[in-house]
Amino acid sequence: KLSQRLEAVANYIPRGSRLADIGSDHAYLPCYAVKKGVVPFAVAGEVVEGPYQSAKRQVKMKGLDEQIIVRKGNGLEVIALGEIDCVTIAGMGGALIASILEEGKNKLDSVKRLILQPNISALTTRQWLLDNAWELIAEEILEEDDKIYEIVVAEKGDPLKPYKNLQKELLLGPLLMKQSSAPFQKKWRNELKNWQRILKQLENAAESEETILKKKELNEKIRMVEEVLDK
């Protein structure tokens, strides 16, 4: 059975897409999407030998060799120009996701939708989308096994459209902020506690230019998050 997290990612794949799942590990996501008839064809990309072998094994075991090609390579280098119209990248840090997109930019011409699930630093992912004319069209946050996951979905468009207060919404997610769901509240309540703890430590430490700057940054973030938390 697929994790709730990957099922939520799969829910955003447009029916009939030619899919590429980058950093596919066991290729659970493309196997699920093909088996359910959501997509007719998928590429599963992996840069590391072990996960690449797991992906090949899984695809074979499910009898999906005809529809899913497993390719070994770094990021988007596993897809050909014009081959793919939906890319999923899940279960990595937001900075790694952004760097994969940046390095493979030229492969994105035919791609209509990106579905990204950064484990940390969704901010970096949103920033890349903003800088590259991808418009956020959906965001989701969910809790599974005591972890909270964010999903960010984008299509080419006006990247500024969902934003009113850039700094704050890049951090929190403009659409997640509007929904303000229970996992959203929980995630930012936890972050807030964390920052307050660090701030206390800094206040007890010797003052330097660095600690002053760090405190300023933390206070700024604390203020932004306090504004969106339910009382």
Closest CA to 154 of 103, 187, 118: 118
Choice between 7 and 135, CB closer to ligand SAM = 7
Sign of the Cα torsion 90, 94, 100, 104 reads positive
Binding mask 35-74 for ligand SAM (x = CB under 6 A): ----------xxxx--x----------------------x
Which range, of 85-93, 105-113, 170-178, 209-217, touches ligand SAM by CB under 6 A?
Answer: 85-93
Which range, of 88-96, 132-140, 178-186, 187-195, touches ligand SAM by CB under 6 A?
Answer: 88-96
Q: Which of 34, 44, 92, 98 binds ligand SAM (CB under 6 A)?
A: 92
Choice between 92 and 225, CB closer to ligand SAM = 92
What distance in Å separates the CA atoms of residue 79 and residue 153, rounded to the nearest whole number? 20
Residues whose CB falls within 8 Å of the CB of residue 19, separated by 6 or more in sequence, listed in order? 13, 30, 33, 39, 41, 42, 43, 84, 86, 87, 88
Please state the closest distance from residue 147 (CB atom) to ligand SAM, in A: 12
Which range, of 91-99, 148-156, 178-186, 208-216, touches ligand SAM by CB under 6 A?
Answer: 91-99
Token pair in block for residue 179:
């929904």
Please state the closest distance from residue 119 (CB atom) to ligand SAM, in A: 8
Interaction between residue 100 and ligand SAM (CB under 6 A) = yes
Binding mask 10-29 for ligand SAM (x = CB under 6 A): ------------xxxx----
- No. of H helices and E strands in the chain? 9, 7
What distance in Å separates the CA atoms of residue 95 and residue 164, rounded to the nearest whole number? 23
Please state the closest distance from residue 131 (CB atom) to ligand SAM, in A: 19
Token pair in block for residue 83:
């081959």
Choice between 22 and 59, CB closer to ligand SAM = 22
Contact call for residues 78 and 22 (beta carbons, < 8 A): yes
Token pair in block for residue 51:
């996960």
Output b/e per residue, 114-124; b: 16+ Cβ within 10 A: bbbbbbebbbb
Q: Which of 90, 151, 172, 177 binds ligand SAM (CB under 6 A)?
A: 90
Token pair in block for residue 67:
């529809």
Please state the closest distance from residue 20 (CB atom) to ligand SAM, in A: 10
* DSSP structural state of residue 207: P
Please state the closest distance from residue 10 (CB atom) to ligand SAM, in A: 11
Note the residues at the interface with ligand SAM (CB under 6 A).
Answer: 6, 22-25, 45-48, 51, 74-75, 90-92, 96, 100
